[in-house]
Structure 1
Amino acid sequence: MTLLRWVSTVVIVGAIAGGVYYMMHGQAPDSVSASRRGAGMGGPVAVIAKNTDRADVPIYLEGVGSVKALNTATVRAQVDGRLLSVNFNEGQDVKKGDVLAKIDPVTYQAQLDQAIAKKALDEALLANTKKDLERFQKVGTLAISQQQIDTQLALVKQQEAQIKSDAASIENATAILGYTTIVAPFDGRTGIRLVDEGNLVHSGDAGGIVVMTQVQPISVLFTLPQQQLPMLTKSSAEGKLTAYALSTDGQTELDTGTLKVIDNQVDQQTGTIRLKADFPNEKRQLWPGQFVNVRLLVDTLKGVIVAPTEAVQRGPDGTYVYVVGADNTAEMRPVKISRQDEKFAVIADGLTEGEKVVTSGFGRLKDGATVSVSDGKAPEQSPPALSKKSADGKKAARVGDAANVGVQSAQATAPAAPDAALVTGSTSEDKKNSDKHRHSHRDNGASP
């Protein structure tokens, strides 16, 4: 029985080893040849390609600027007094001449009345002096001297001048009285109120009552490098230039206006030229003090060949593109670029309208390579490849299956015995049971 157990164990171990070796090294001939073919042959290179086109390309000059109100005024009191009322709401749109605030006018009204009374007094004196002059002139030198006549004439002229002075005093008092009513200097928008009604205001107050800004239309001050000045002056001489105000990220167009003025000197410290453009600001997307990007249209290239910017590659010999031919073969072709931005490149030489150029998939691409062209849309989903971990798991499962097959084969080959082991090795308890069984046989006269 011991010999039989030993033979069974050897058979089981051999079956397991054979199954493992088979699964590790015994690939089918078809799978081996397929893997060799896959490693030795390279398929077409997958690329994305787009066609060149003929179009009108605008030329822009771009700069950074800040929004400035067309008119800004700090509304201050021109006379001293108590602020009787504030007649506007903060952030209100007002028209030129609208009453913004009123100052107590009592003192200034009294000064005006006093000036009017003074003029009336001087007019009465003048009338009496003129009558005396008329009497002196009628009597003549027979009753009075010529000196008295001349003195009376001088007195008339003096009083006439006094009346003119009184009239000027009245006008001055009227103007001062008018300053007690504060009105809007232009159409605009009020800001935050700087003083409340009931306070004493003075003509020398620095803060004022409110700050007004004119936001429709509105201006933008921006700068451009001095190297662009020749193109700028040439284009502005041909007509008005269109300006576009963009958000700080350059993605949103806020308003469209026109270039108003080019500054008369270049800033020597920064090497830039300042410009000013006016915008209607109908939607109020521009606000005083706001930072914006400005794009100035200076020219338009008519009917030029354009290609996607991502198609242009650069090498030791200059710029080039890969052109896809009718036989799906990629040709590396040198090109000349006259102008380029983030979207399109203007091709001066090297391409014609309608040619297909590669825009993506340059990793394995070379001159003369066969390509598989797509239009950039999402490809169909292919079954996901097994990860290394999953493949190892399946491989281990196959090894386990082979081991089970070997065990089952060993069981079928070995003769049935009560104490035959099903796994490699035996426990001490099994050994004790076997010895006891053997002794019982000897006691009964059985051979071992």
Structure 2
Amino acid sequence: MTLRRLAVPLILSLALASCSDQGKSAGGAGAAGAGGQQRPPAKVSVVTLKQGERPLTRVLPGRAVAFRTADIRPRVNGMIEEIAFKEGSEVKAGDILYKIDDETYAASLEEAKATLAKAEASVPSAEANFNRYERLVNSGATQIEYENARVSLLQARADVAQAKAALQTAQINVGYTAIRAPFDGVTTISNVSIGNIVTANQTTALTTLRQLDPVYVDLTDSAAHLLELRAAIAAGRLKGNPTQADITLALEDGTRYPRTGKLDMSELAVSETTGTYQIRAVFDNPDNLILPGMYVRATVIVGYENGFLIPQRAATRNPSGSLTAMFVTKDNKVESRTFDNSQLSGNNWLVTSGVNDGDRLIVDGLQKIAPGAPVEPVEATVNDQGFVVEAQAPAQAPAAKP
């Protein structure tokens, strides 16, 4: 009985010792395995930078404005007899928009014609009377009679001139009863109906005519940008003429307008309240895609400068506002660089220092890396939409047959 009591604890002690030895062995083996494994370098997409002459751009907000605008008003009094256009339709220069009742003006025209005929009929007798007294002034006719004949002739001729002017006025008034489009354009809603009485030069317009092709786009830019631009031109860093540069538009829904525009004018004054000045561009608009009042964003090329392009997706701003980007060194490690001066160039930032030809810029995989970390660079490009496209590896030659 005593031997049995002693044997049981002995067996348990041996079992525990065996388990402890096995655990230590397993733990040592696991530690050795963990120490032997190394994390593989993260794959990153890189582009190789090359210096070149790049465009400098400004993205400016703006509003579309009609090329021409005219409020159509009557120039004579009367009743609207006809509305000859369809509201919201295109009309050509000279097309009749409204017809005012012209009966009164037609009667005045006939009266003016009769008055002119009467005045012209009195001229021959006045001329004959004057010629007779002119011959007799020294042989029986008094000087007073001669002067009266001369005055009568002058009055007859003046009556003819007055009648001609009245006839011309009557003709003009008859012409004003037909209200015509002053230029090609698009009409708005008519503010009057047939039968309404209108007056000459009334405050309320009958309709509004707008020419939409071409169309103006009024842009605003800060005075600070203007000073920077002039300083760059004066220093010789900036090439090109901003007044001849193409201007592209992005519409309210983000789509790109298919036609480019040109600078038309810029104001030589800065707003005292906003510190901005206005730039006006002109665009062809044959499909009336751009409408007055529409908000747009314009990209203006202000010149060209030598430098390196850093895609916007590959760069960030530090708390001080400087541009930062990640590069791959010669030994395939991450290096962070800061650029104090950078300018916009399309979807990129243009820098002129801190980069050399052949430097590899990281454009994708930035979330998995930190400065000093080893990486595996993969050559890629960035397309116009800002997406990274990795370069395809060259196809391997097929293995030779034995």
The equivalences for 1:293-442 within 5 A come to 293-302=297-306, 304-312=307-315, 321-325=325-329, 327-332=331-336, 337-340=341-344, 343-362=347-366, 365-373=369-377
Which of 77, 80, 88 is the aligned partner of 1:83?
80
Cα pair distance change 1:225/1:28, threshold 3 Å: same
The equivalences for 1:181-330 within 5 A come to 181-230=178-227, 239-248=243-252, 251-253=255-257, 255-302=259-306, 304-312=307-315, 321-325=325-329, 327-330=331-334
Cα pair distance change 1:247/1:35, threshold 3 Å: farther
What is the CA-CA distance between 1:56 and the residue it aligns to?
A: 4.0
Aligned equivalents of 2:57, 2:23: Cα separation in 1? 66
Q: Which residue of the partner structure matches residue 169 of structure 1?
A: 166
The one-letter code matched in structure 2 to 1:309 is Q
Aligned equivalents of 2:359, 2:274: Cα separation in 1? 44
Q: Which residue of the partner structure matches residue 131 of structure 2?
A: 134
What is the CA-CA distance between 1:205 and the residue it aligns to?
A: 3.3
Q: Which residue of the partner structure matches residue 51 of structure 1?
A: 47
The one-letter code matched in structure 2 to 1:266 is V
Aligned equivalents of 2:332, 2:66: Cα separation in 1? 59
> Are the equivalent residues in 2 in contact too, given 1:65–1:292 (CA < 8 A)?
yes
Cα pair distance change 1:364/1:181, threshold 3 Å: closer
The one-letter code matched in structure 1 to 2:157 is E
The one-letter code matched in structure 2 to 1:51 is V
The one-letter code matched in structure 2 to 1:265 is A
Give the TM-score, by structure 2 length.
Answer: 0.77
The one-letter code matched in structure 2 to 1:275 is I
Which of 136, 144, 149 is the aligned partner of 2:146?
149
Cα pair distance change 1:91/1:128, threshold 3 Å: same
User: Aligned with 2:361: secondary structure?
Assistant: strand
Aligned equivalents of 1:37, 1:78: Cα separation in 2? 99
Provide Cα deviations, 1:8-61, integer angstroms capped at 9, x if missing partner. xxxxxxxxxx9xxx9xxx989669844774488551342423113335421112
Provide Cα deviations, 1:94-152, integer angstroms capped at 9, x if missing partner. 11111112111110011111111111112222222222222222333433211111111
Moved more, 195-204 or 353-362: 353-362
> Are the equivalent residues in 1 in contact too, given 2:241–2:302 (CA < 8 A)?
no
> Are the equivalent residues in 1 in contact too, given 2:243–2:262 (CA < 8 A)?
no
CA RMSD of aligned residues (A): 3.3
Larger Rg: 1
What is the CA-CA distance between 1:333 and the residue it aligns to?
A: 5.1
User: Aligned with 1:83: secondary structure?
Assistant: strand
Q: Which residue of the partner structure matches residue 392 of structure 1?
A: none
Give the TM-score, by structure 1 length.
Answer: 0.69
Aligned equivalents of 1:229, 1:320: Cα separation in 2? 26
Cα pair distance change 1:231/1:109, threshold 3 Å: farther
> Are the equivalent residues in 2 in contact too, given 1:223–1:275 (CA < 8 A)?
yes
What is the CA-CA distance between 1:273 and the residue it aligns to?
A: 1.0
Unaligned runs of 5+ in 2: 1-14, 234-238, 381-387, 391-402
Aligned equivalents of 2:278, 2:270: Cα separation in 1? 7
Which of 89, 97, 100 is the aligned partner of 1:100?
97
Percent sequence identity is 26
User: Aligned with 1:198: secondary structure?
Assistant: coil
Cα pair distance change 1:187/1:112, threshold 3 Å: same
The one-letter code matched in structure 1 to 2:54 is V
The equivalences for 1:21-60 within 5 A come to 33-34=29-30, 37-38=33-34, 42-54=38-50, 55-60=52-57
What is the CA-CA distance between 1:209 and the residue it aligns to?
A: 2.2
Total equivalences in the alignment:
354
> Are the equivalent residues in 2 in contact too, given 1:306–1:347 (CA < 8 A)?
yes
Aligned equivalents of 1:285, 1:162: Cα separation in 2? 58
What is the CA-CA distance between 1:241 and the residue it aligns to?
A: 3.0
Provide Cα deviations, 1:291-334, integer angstroms capped at 9, x if missing partner. 212222111224x3223334446669976544334553334456
Aligned equivalents of 1:225, 1:44: Cα separation in 2? 50
Aligned equivalents of 2:134, 2:92: Cα separation in 1? 60
Aligned equivalents of 1:41, 1:201: Cα separation in 2? 94
